[in-house]
């Protein structure tokens, strides 16, 4: 299988259309076996995935450690690793203009980067992202000055940000400015807002777009049934975000989408991933992978063919504005 690759903005990198999302390796989505996680990472690398997205937050650094162990044992082509630094305290979703200077002080950014380097076992982080972008960062550039200093010292290669959940408009001015190499944003069949302003701005400045939550945390995987919620571990991310009536409401909408996508694809997951990759502004789509079967399935969508004709327009009516992370 040949995995199609796309330019990663203006970096010169060629990145697999589907990237390995490493959040689940931290254990917050359920119990994990580190040895199995490493085997899964190696299988993904062998099959052509060359971009891994992790973060300090994923299992309090555990995901980074597992990725680092996998990299140490890997002898194949270069794997691009992206990680993220979280603020000491996450701003409440209702706060429109958090204090970025207080969140990302120079000494804090440097200390966290050094810890990520140690956990990953690398000399340089390929892509270092602010895990929570704050619009005030266009006025107060101390965060950028610090990251550029780390860049000049060879500790990080490229700089990116991850936009706050369901706030894609906060990245439009940043994309237009060209100050960072990449912007990570939630984008899927339910969350289509990035198409309107963020993606055009990113294309104009050649800023790479990393699309996360392509399968809406599994809702768009096609694997859900009415009994799925009860199979999740208490306290897991899934059981928390889809609590109460959220699960049943989501499942009802998913079933409507499946009736439309079934005309073109035998699985909703294929329609969902191809929907994300259908926009050329997207450099890669992050997808979680926990087995060889899932890897093979995800990579079968990374063939450069995009979405079936007319399906993007038919799915436009399923946009659903909500934030289940709160």
In sign, the C-alpha dihedral spanning 222, 223, 225, 230 is: negative
Query: What's the DSSP call for residue 88?
Result: S
Backbone phi, then psi, for 180, in 5-degree steps?
Answer: -120, 160
Identify whether 284 is part of a domain.
yes
Residue 29 · residue 239 · CB < 8 Å: no
Q: 71 lies in a domain?
A: yes
How many domains does the chain divide into? Answer: 1
Per-residue CA distances from 131 to 95, 104, 151, 303 (Å)? 16, 11, 18, 29
Residue 242 in any domain: the answer is no
Measured CA to CA in angstroms, residue 29 lies from 4, 159, 214, 237 at distances of: 29, 27, 16, 5
Residue 103 CA to residue 112 CA, distance in Å, equals: 12
Residue 36 lies in a domain: yes
- Whether 231 maps to a domain, the answer reads no
Domain that holds residue 78: 5-221+269-318
- pLDDT confidence of residue 1: 64
SS3 205: helix
Place of tokens 């440097």: 110
Give the Å distances, CA to CA, from 85 to 115, 130, 132, 214.
Answer: 10, 5, 8, 22
What's the CATH code of the domain at 185? 3.20.20.100
Is residue 311 situated within a structural domain?
A: yes
198 within 8 A of 221, measured Cβ to Cβ: no
Q: Is residue 128 part of a domain?
A: yes
Q: What is the dihedral of CA 18, 173, 180, 51, to 10 degrees?
A: -10
Instruction: State CA 300 to chain mean position distance.
Output: 19
Q: How far apart are CA 202 and CA 87, in angstroms?
A: 24
Report residues of the chain scoring pLDDT below 70.
Answer: 1, 29
In a domain, 306, yes or no: yes
How many whole angstroms from its chain centre is CA 58? Answer: 12
Cα angle 278-279-282, degrees, rounded to a multiple of 5: 110
């Amino acid at each position: 299988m040949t995995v199609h690759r796309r330019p990663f903005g203006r970096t010169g990198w060629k990145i697999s259309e589907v990237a390995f999302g490493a959040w689940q390796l931290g254990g917050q989505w359920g119990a994990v076996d580190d040895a199995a996680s490493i085997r899964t990472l190696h299988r993904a690398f062998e099959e052509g995935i060359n971009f891994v997205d992790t973060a300090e937050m994923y299992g309090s650094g555990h995901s980074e450690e597992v990725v680092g162990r996998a990299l140490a044992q890997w002898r194949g082509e270069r794997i691009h690793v992206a990680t993220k630094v979280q603020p000491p305290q996450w701003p409440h979703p209702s706060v429109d203009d958090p204090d970025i200077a207080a969140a990302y002080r120079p000494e804090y950014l440097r200390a966290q980067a050094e810890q990520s380097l140690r956990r990953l076992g690398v000399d340089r982080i390929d892509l270092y992202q602010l895990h929570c972008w704050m619009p005030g960062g266009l006025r107060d550039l101390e965060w950028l000055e610090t990251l550029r200093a780390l860049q000049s010292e060879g500790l990080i290669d490229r700089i990116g940000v991850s936009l706050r959940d369901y706030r894609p408009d906060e990245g439009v001015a940043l994309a237009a400015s060209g100050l960072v190499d990449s912007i990570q944003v939630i984008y899927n069949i339910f969350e289509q807002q990035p198409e309107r302003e963020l993606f055009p701005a990113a294309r104009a400045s050649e800023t790479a777009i990393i699309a996360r939550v392509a399968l809406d945390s599994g809702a768009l995987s096609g694997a859900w049934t009415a009994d799925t919620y009860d199979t999740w571990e208490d306290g897991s991310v899934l059981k928390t975000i889809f609590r109460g009536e959220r699960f049943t409401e989501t499942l009802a909408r998913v079933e409507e989408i499946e009736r439309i996508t079934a005309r073109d694809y035998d699985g909703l997951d294929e329609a969902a991933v191809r929907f994300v990759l259908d926009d050329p502004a997207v450099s890669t789509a992050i997808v979680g992978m926990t087995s060889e079967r899932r890897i093979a399935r995800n990579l079968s969508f990374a063939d450069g063919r995009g979405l079936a004709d007319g399906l993007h327009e038919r799915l436009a009516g399923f946009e659903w504005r909500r934030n289940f992370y709160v």
